[in-house]
């Protein structure tokens, strides 16, 4: 059940009506209903994997309580924490990384002249496993660190992990942020709900109009890079950058909007990443819930930037390799992480990684040009690294890059979708105007006359309808 389908619209309409009109008087019943709706939503993909989700929920709920009971017994507390970490990562490892490790092990052993016969498993990756595993881990670690008390009700905890808008592709929530909202009675707020609808509309536009339109050309170019000029391959990387942004941030916008309609605020996951002035700023604006998760649960526990420069560099390296590997069991993702580490390394070494933390604003032509150049440069770096992200394997990524930097780089690209480029330009302009808000059209048109604002929304709806029909899977569902 994809967010951009009629099935989801019908599902959500039923949930919305029952949630606010039938179960609104009793918080426990409302939470139970939301949990059942979430499990139904998840089981639409694969009924069997719902049991894996329930196992993960049960484990972390139990461990959370055990850690709390053993607050004063440090050794026991630590044992429970490690039990949860090991089991969670083992489940993730088996489903997501087992074949990768086995294949590489066999290759190494064979290269050394030995023969190895190990089984690879024909496993389907349970959708959203990386996301809900990280939800569970954040809860257990927060209980361990005594940032939160474990919840008494398993329904509340299960809802925290499996809340359907965020279940399959995030944002990766924190117990400290989401659990209090689940435990508190929610009241309907008109402004919040309208804001939610606006965000859903913008998310659908990003997914259907931006991402899916770019996908058509990206698939064409990446499937046969050797058939195209270097300049066309550059076009392919640029379009892929817009595709993945439209796809993932579009999904997130829909998730946030849907939650808002249910009176729940989720974490912001994107903050105009393509206006980042350097790579450090980019990672503070892109998939924020993942990068901040690694910051809080890996980087800081490892010492963060408090120790020596060498330790900081090591920590940054670990985080980027993990970010790369989190995306999937493929060397392409590991290289993607490594390239990003190389990008950020000079900023870390020269303490420049927190230079750009304010919201970007331009005054004057000179500073405007400087900022614009740094944004374009950052976008170029990000897009280049994504060649690895998008390629099937390392070999095809290198083929793509070598063909891209050939003489044909300076010829006019064979594929130049004018309409898409025009739409992308308008899209980026709207994003620029709205860059101080949580999403681009949050306050856009508030000062316009009502008919113009309504006309703008109808234009978005019309574009979504005209570009719809491809029903492409969200890219981040595979992670």
Partner 1 sequence: MRNFIRYTFLFLFPIVLVLLAIEIFYQIAPNNYTVKNENCATNYQNAEVLILGNSHSFYGLNPVCFDKQTFNLSNISQSMYFDKLLFDKHIDNFKKVKFLVLSIEYTSLSQLKNTDEDRWRKYYYKHYMDLEVPIIQSFDLNNWFVSGTKSFSSNLKLISRYFSEKTIVDCNKYGFGTNYTQHKRAADMEKSAAITIKRHEDNLTDFTENITAIESIIEKCKNKGIQVIIVTMPVTKNYAEKVNKEKLNKIFESALLLQKTNSNVFYLNLFSDSRFSNDDFYDADHLHNLGAKKCSKMVNDFINQKSAKTQF
State in angstroms the smallest separation of the CB of 236 from partner 1.
19
Residue 5 or 406 with smaller CB distance to partner 1: 5
Stretch that binds partner 1, among 72-80, 132-140, 186-194, 308-316 (CB under 8 A): 186-194
Output 10 or 86, the one with its CB closest to partner 1: 10
- Residue 399 binds partner 1, judged by CB under 8 A: no
Catalytic site residue from 135, 227, 287, 327: 327
Of 83, 125, 193, 298, the one binding partner 1 by CB under 8 A? 193
Instruction: State yes or no: is 327 an active-site residue.
Output: yes
Indicate which single residue of 114, 119, 190, 412 sits in contact with partner 1 (rule: CB under 8 A).
190
| Residue 465 binds to partner 1 (criterion: CB under 8 A) | yes
Compare residues 20 and 68 and give the one whose CB is closer to partner 1. Answer: 20
Nearest distance in Å: CB 42, partner 1: 17
What string marks each residue from 87 to 126 as x (binds partner 1 by CB under 8 A) or -? ----------------------------------------
C-alpha span between 271 and 246 (Å, rounded): 13
Residue keyed to tokens 């392919």 = 236
Which of 470, 476, 8 has the alpha carbon at shortest distance from 217? 470
Contact between 466 and partner 1 per CB under 8 A: yes
Q: Which is nearer to partner 1, 177 or 453 (CB)?
A: 453
Q: Give yes or no for a cis peptide into 171 (omega within 30° of 0).
A: yes
Binding flags for partner 1, 19-38, as an x/- string (CB under 8 A): -x------------------
Which residues 194-213 are close enough to bind partner 1 by CB under 8 A?
194, 197
Site track 281-300 with partner 1 (rule: CB under 8 A), x = hit = --------------------
Backbone angles phi, psi at 315, to 5 degrees: -65, -40
Query: Is the Cα dihedral 130, 135, 137, 141 positive or negative?
Result: positive
410: contact with partner 1 by CB under 8 A: no
Cβ proximity to partner 1, 457 vs 477, nearer residue:
457
Our CB check for partner 1 shows the closer of 47 and 55 to be 47
- In whole angstroms, the minimum distance from the beta carbon of 411 to partner 1 comes to 23
Token pair of 286, please? 């892109």
97, 338, 398, 457: residue in contact with partner 1 (rule CB under 8 A): 457
Q: Is residue 86 near partner 1 by the rule CB under 8 A?
A: no
Closer to partner 1 by Cβ: residue 55 or 458: 458
Q: How far is the CB of 449 from partner 1 (least distance, A)?
A: 16
Q: Near partner 1 by CB under 8 A, which window of 190-198, 293-301, 359-367, 370-378?
A: 190-198
Q: By CB under 8 A, name the binding residues for partner 1.
A: 6-7, 10, 20, 188, 190, 193-194, 197, 454, 457-458, 461, 465-470
Point out the residues that are catalytic: 327
């Amino acid at each position: 059940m994809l967010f951009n389908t009629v099935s989801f619209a019908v599902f959500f309409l039923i949930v919305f009506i029952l949630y606010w009109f039938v179960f609104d008087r009793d918080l426990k019943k409302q939470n139970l209903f939301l949990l059942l709706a979430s499990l139904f939503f998840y089981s639409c993909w694969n009924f069997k994997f719902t049991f894996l989700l329930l196992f993960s929920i049960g484990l972390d709920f139990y461990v959370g309580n055990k850690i709390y009971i053993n607050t004063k017994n440090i050794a026991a507390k630590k044992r429970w924490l490690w039990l949860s970490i090991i089991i969670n990562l083992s489940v993730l490892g088996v489903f997501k990384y087992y074949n990768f490790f086995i294949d590489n092990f066999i290759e190494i052993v064979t290269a050394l002249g030995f023969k190895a016969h190990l089984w690879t498993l024909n496993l389907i990756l349970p959708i959203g496993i990386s996301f809900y595993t990280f939800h569970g881990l954040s809860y257990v670690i927060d209980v361990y660190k005594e940032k939160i008390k474990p919840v008494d009700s398993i329904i509340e905890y299960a809802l925290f992990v499996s809340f359907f808008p965020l279940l399959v592709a995030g944002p990766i929530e924190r117990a400290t942020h989401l659990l209090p909202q689940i435990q508190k009675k929610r009241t309907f707020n008109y402004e919040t709900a309208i804001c939610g609808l606006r965000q859903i509309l913008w998310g659908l536009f990003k997914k259907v109009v931006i991402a899916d339109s770019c996908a058509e050309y990206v698939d064409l170019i990446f499937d046969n890079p050797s058939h195209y000029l270097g300049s066309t391959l550059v076009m392919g990387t640029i379009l892929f950058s817009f595709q993945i942004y439209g796809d993932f941030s579009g999904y997130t916008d829909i998730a946030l909007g849907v939650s808002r309609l249910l009176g729940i605020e989720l974490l912001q996951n994107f903050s105009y990443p393509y206006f980042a002035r350097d790579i450090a700023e980019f990672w503070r604006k892109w998939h924020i819930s993942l990068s901040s998760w690694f910051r809080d649960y890996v980087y800081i526990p490892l010492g963060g930037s408090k120790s020596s420069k060498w330790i900081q560099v090591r920590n940054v390296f670990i985080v980027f390799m993990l970010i790369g590997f989190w995306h999937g069991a493929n060397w392409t993702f590991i290289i993607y992480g490594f390239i990003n580490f190389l990008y950020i390394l000079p900023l870390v070494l020269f303490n420049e990684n927190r230079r750009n933390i304010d919201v970007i604003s331009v005054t004057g032509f000179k500073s405007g040009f400087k900022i614009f150049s740094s944004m374009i440069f950052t976008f170029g770096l990000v897009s280049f690294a994504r060649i690895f992200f998008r390629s099937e394997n390392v070999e095809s990524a290198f083929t793509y890059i070598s063909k891209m930097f050939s003489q044909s780089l300076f010829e006019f690209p064979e594929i130049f979708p004018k309409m898409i480029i025009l739409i992308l330009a308008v899209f980026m302009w709207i994003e620029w105007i709205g860059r101080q808000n949580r999403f681009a059209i949050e306050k856009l048109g508030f000062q316009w006359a009502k008919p113009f604002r309504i006309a703008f929304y109808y234009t978005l709806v019309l574009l979504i309808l005209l570009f719809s029909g491809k029903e492409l899977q969200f890219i981040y569902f595979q992670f």
